[in-house]
Structure 1
């Protein structure tokens, strides 16, 4: 396998591990049942995308890199410590920043699918994979999280005055 493609896919696989961890944290902190359900469903979608990334790596002769995944997990844990310091409860800066990190990560997944769609014709093992549909799913996910980010940003950055 092309070393650059291997690294690119593994980087995204490692990042997605951090995303799953962050999404679970947000689900655990959710106060409302529908909010919790949103994050649980999003986590399932991201885990499905992780399976696809692993499949893509396997079809071109490589598995996931344990070292890169460990680095991704370490980065996720460090980020979570910073967010916890800011506070992950609704209305806190950490909750807003967690959603912002998630939006950026999902946008990264979107451009991953777009790039892979561009090169898929060069990789016979990827024939039949609908990268456009994967990209559309990422756009839908990003937009849904972006709505929550905007609400959280308003609460964190312009808090209601206490009476």
Structure 2
């Protein structure tokens, strides 16, 4: 057990073979802000699409995204990295602000709103996968990181990307389809 796990404090200098914990803390808290926004966006999309084919496809993805956020919190705890609440709040607020965009309709939603939500989810999942891959590399020198768990998270992100991309393509084709006059 090292001094970090005994005291719970972060250290700014790396020990041999491990990451700079101050920078890793910033990195993981940034990912947590993104995970907070992604969880909210996925949950909202699942609620809006409930009962439709899209909803049935997105509901399990939204549930997994919430589990992934919890996994990130577990990993941060295992590493002794404190959660920076202001970043979590920024992620939450950023997602809410992202809803306040002109959508081409005076009242109600636009078919493009679902496309934008799916594109935002896809980008978030890609970022999350990159974060898991970074941690997977670090697991080679840090026994606190479970390589098998990270492999599972990477694979789950890949499946999420496939599902979201399939539905993004369907929605864009539907939203931008021209109608015969």
TM-score class normalised by the smaller sequence = 0.7 to 0.9
Aligned twin of 2:33 = 14
Q: Does 1:102 align with 2:121?
A: yes
Structure 1 contact 54–63 (Cα < 8 Å) conserved: no
Q: RMSD of the TM alignment (CA)?
A: 2.0
Once the two structures are TM-superposed, the CA of residue 36 in structure 1 deviates from its matched residue by: 2.0
Residue 146 of structure 2 is aligned to residue 160 of structure 1 = no
Unaligned runs of 5+ residues in structure 1 are none
Report the CA distance between 1:74 and its aligned residue.
1.2
Which is greater in Rg?
A: 2
Cα distance, 1:23 vs structure 2: 1.2
Higher helix share: 1
Asked if the contact 1:22/1:80 (under 8 Å) is kept, the reply is no
TM-score by length of 1: 0.87
8 Å contact 1:121–1:127 — kept in the other structure?
no
Q: Which runs of 5+ in 2 are unaligned?
A: 1-9, 11-20
Once the two structures are TM-superposed, the CA of residue 40 in structure 1 deviates from its matched residue by: 2.1
- Asked if the contact 2:50/2:56 (under 8 Å) is kept, the reply is no
Indicate conservation of the 8 Å contact 2:122/2:164, yes or no: yes
> Hey, what's the Cα distance between the residues in 2 that align with 1:130 and 1:25?
27
* Aligned-residue offset at 1:110: 0.9
How far 1:39 sits from its partner (Å)?
Answer: 2.3
Distance 1:52 1:71 in 2: 20
